[in-house]
């Protein structure tokens, strides 16, 4: 028995040694590409055992191998290909030769670009975005709940930091619900692979840029999701993370070079101070720590000044648009990225997809800080960021202050008036995404202390203000929770799992107040969908008086008056103050109640209530 074991081990050692001498081609990314891009160049990253010792060749009409780059790690090669405008779609071999060893061959494919009109159509102020976390929305395929071999295999719905089993099929199953609600665009938190040992459900620690997380589905299913969304008039936003990468990524565990991520003598967090990026008096050390410090111990800070990293990220994002036909990008942690690279990235994305929409997450503390990152603000920067819009946290805070605060020179409703008055800082404020809450902060209904009147007023302002409105999943059914800890704002949508006691995707599963909230959102969202004045119309606002804030959205078709009483007492609004905008109108319709208002000279407004009135002549 011992002799037989020794022979077996000797054979395995010999076989292992022999195999180690033959390089294994583990990855080629992007795995395929397309003909017809404006940029004729593509850089392939090739990963395999000692692949750098190979001689590379290819032979295909219109494709030229212009450079082969060896880097610090001998398990990598970077191949520069140039694709001429006359190149036809097709497959061709890329051969890796090494003396005394069998050739390795990768059959590369160039595809024809998609010409579907709905491909990369863009998201604008005409839309309403619905943000959801796929793990927490609906479980449509229980067979992928646990995937053997992944680092986090448990499924624990009673734990806010474990996976709950939601997936892309679950979202597909409820597209009709979103369409009925009045949503026009869906934004999922990142759905690509996050193979981390803990809290991998959120999606912001990517471990494979080219692969949908198998617990959510497959690349093919993601493409199906986009196609099914487009088929019923819904658009799709993809959430991108440029700044950091999960430490379990193959790119980190076997880095091409040390400079793939920012290295520090000891672990160093970002200081999370966006002001350090723009401060004309700031210390270089503070700016470096802001931009190069790690976001978390499990999220390595990507070195975007590295040209190989730049090519890899930019090509990956182009790949996903062309592969799936998504309509927009949301850029996570935008202020933490290398600003010069991000400007170059945006130019290259826009060159290939001119209608694709882009907005960056900027959870900062003033309008000036937000505007600093947007397109057109070149003062003291020397370049244009090319970023069309941002997540407008200042509008969010101002609406909450208008609902909860007491009137003061810059408090209460005056906060909202003053924030909107600063739109001159943006090239175009209508490209900003406005919101009341998201996956990183307390839910809106909790922020207004579960006051239903305030809830409706906040939704009314969100869906009538300038910009691109975004709702967080469950807002429409009064989901609540505070962000400390974060998990409490990421609960499951009841009804998305087999066996849930209540199915809140249906009226029968919701209670009376939840249905009232749902109906309010649906009525207003669908009115907005059919009212260009609220989508692309101009905005005129008036200085608040006696705690009442009034603004108008208008175009050649309609004029809509929005007025909000931020006081604790009911009031009667004298509209003579608004003659500049109301001249020629003698009546109106409350678009929520459908009540006709024959006399607009004085309008009764209950405390903390917003009225939306379509003016009539």
Residues taking part in catalysis: 332, 361
Q: Kindly give, in sequence order, each residue whose CB lies less than 8 Å from that of residue 209, ignoring residues fewer than 6 positions away.
A: 29, 192, 312, 313, 316
Residue 59 neighbours by CB distance under 10 Å: 10
Q: Kindly give, in sequence order, each residue whose CB lies less than 8 Å from that of residue 24, ignoring residues fewer than 6 positions away.
A: 48, 49
DSSP state of 391: B
- Candidates 138, 160, 256; CA nearest to 505 is 138
Q: Kindly give, in sequence order, each residue whose CB lies less than 8 Å from that of residue 612, ignoring residues fewer than 6 positions away.
A: 460, 464, 524, 560, 561, 562, 590, 591, 592
DSSP state of 493: -
DSSP per-residue letters across 313-367 = HHHHHHHHHHHH---EEEETTGGGS-HHHHHHHHHHHHHH-TT-EEEE----SSH
Residue 182's DSSP bridge partners are none
Beta sheet of 63-70, edge-to-edge order: 25-29, 41-48, 76-83, 63-70
Rounded distance between C-alpha atoms, residue 448 and residue 446, angstroms:
5
Rounded distance between C-alpha atoms, residue 357 and residue 556, angstroms:
26
């Amino acid at each position: 028995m011992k002799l037989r074991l020794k022979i077996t081990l000797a054979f395995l050692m010999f076989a292992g040694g022999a195999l180690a001498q033959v390089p294994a081609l583990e990855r080629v990314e992007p795995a395929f590409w397309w003909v017809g891009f404006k940029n004729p160049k593509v850089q392939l990253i090739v990963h395999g055992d000692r692949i750098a010792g190979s001689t590379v060749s290819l032979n295909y009409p219109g494709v030229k191998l212009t450079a082969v780059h060896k880097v610090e790690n001998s398990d990598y090669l970077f191949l520069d290909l140039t694709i001429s405008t006359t190149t036809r779609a097709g497959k061709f071999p890329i051969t890796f030769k090494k003396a005394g060893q069998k050739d390795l061959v990768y059959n590369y494919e160039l595809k024809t670009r998609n010409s579907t009109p709905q491909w990369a159509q863009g998201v604008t102020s005409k839309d309403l975005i619905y943000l959801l976390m796929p793990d927490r929305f609906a479980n449509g395929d229980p067979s992928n709940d646990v995937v053997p071999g992944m680092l986090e295999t448990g499924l624990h719905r009673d734990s806010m930091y474990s996976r709950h089993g939601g997936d892309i099929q679950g979202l597909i199953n409820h597209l009709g619900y979103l369409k009925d609600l009045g949503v026009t665009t869906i934004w999922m938190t990142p759905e690509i692979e996050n193979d981390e040992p803990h809290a991998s459900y959120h999606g912001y620690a990517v471990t494979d840029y080219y692969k949908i997380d198998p617990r959510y589905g497959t690349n093919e299913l993601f493409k199906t999701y986009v196609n099914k969304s487009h088929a019923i008039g819904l658009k799709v936003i993809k959430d991108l993370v440029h700044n950091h990468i999960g430490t379990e990524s193959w790119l980190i565990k076997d880095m091409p070079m040390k400079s793939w991520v920012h290295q520090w003598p000891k672990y160093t967090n970002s200081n999370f101070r966006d002001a350090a990026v723009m401060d004309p008096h700031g210390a270089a050390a503070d700016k470096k720590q802001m931009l190069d410090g790690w976001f978390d111990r499990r999220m390595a800070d990507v070195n975007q000044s590295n040209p190989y990293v730049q090519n890899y990220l930019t090509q990956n994002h182009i790949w996903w648009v062309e592969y799936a036909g998504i309509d927009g990008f949301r850029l996570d942690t935008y202020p933490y990225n290398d600003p010069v690279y991000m400007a170059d990235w945006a130019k290259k994305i826009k060159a290939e997809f001119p209608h694709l929409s882009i907005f960056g997450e900027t959870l900062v503390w003033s309008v000036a800080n937000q505007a600093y990152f947007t397109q057109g603000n070149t003062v003291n920067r020397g370049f244009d960021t090319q970023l069309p819009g941002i997540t407008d946290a200042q509008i969010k805070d101002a609406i909450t202050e208008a609902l909860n605060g007491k009137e003061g020179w810059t408090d209460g409703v005056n906060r909202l008036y003053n924030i909107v008055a600063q739109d001159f800082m943006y090239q175009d404020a209508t490209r900003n995404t406005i919101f009341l809450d998201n996956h990183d902060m307390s839910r809106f209904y909790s922020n207004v202390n579960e006051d239903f009147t305030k809830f409706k007023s906040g939704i009314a302002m969100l869906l009538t203000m300038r910009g691109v409105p975004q709702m967080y999943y469950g807002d429409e059914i009064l989901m609540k929770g505070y962000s400390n800890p974060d998990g409490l704002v990421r609960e499951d949508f009841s009804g998305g799992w087999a066996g849930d006691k209540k199915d809140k995707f249906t009226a029968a599963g919701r209670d009376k107040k939840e249905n009232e909230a749902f109906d309010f959102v649906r009525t207003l969202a669908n009115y907005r969908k059919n009212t260009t004045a609220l989508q692309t119309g101009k905005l005129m606002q008036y200085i608040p008086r006696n705690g009442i804030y009034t603004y108008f959205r208008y175009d050649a078709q309609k004029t809509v008056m929005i007025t909000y009483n931020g006081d604790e007492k009911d009031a009667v609004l004298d509209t003579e103050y608004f003659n500049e905008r109301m001249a020629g109108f003698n009546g109106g319709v409350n678009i929520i109640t459908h009540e006709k208002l024959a006399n607009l000279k004085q309008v009764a407004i209950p405390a903390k209530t917003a009225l939306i009135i379509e003016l009539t002549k």
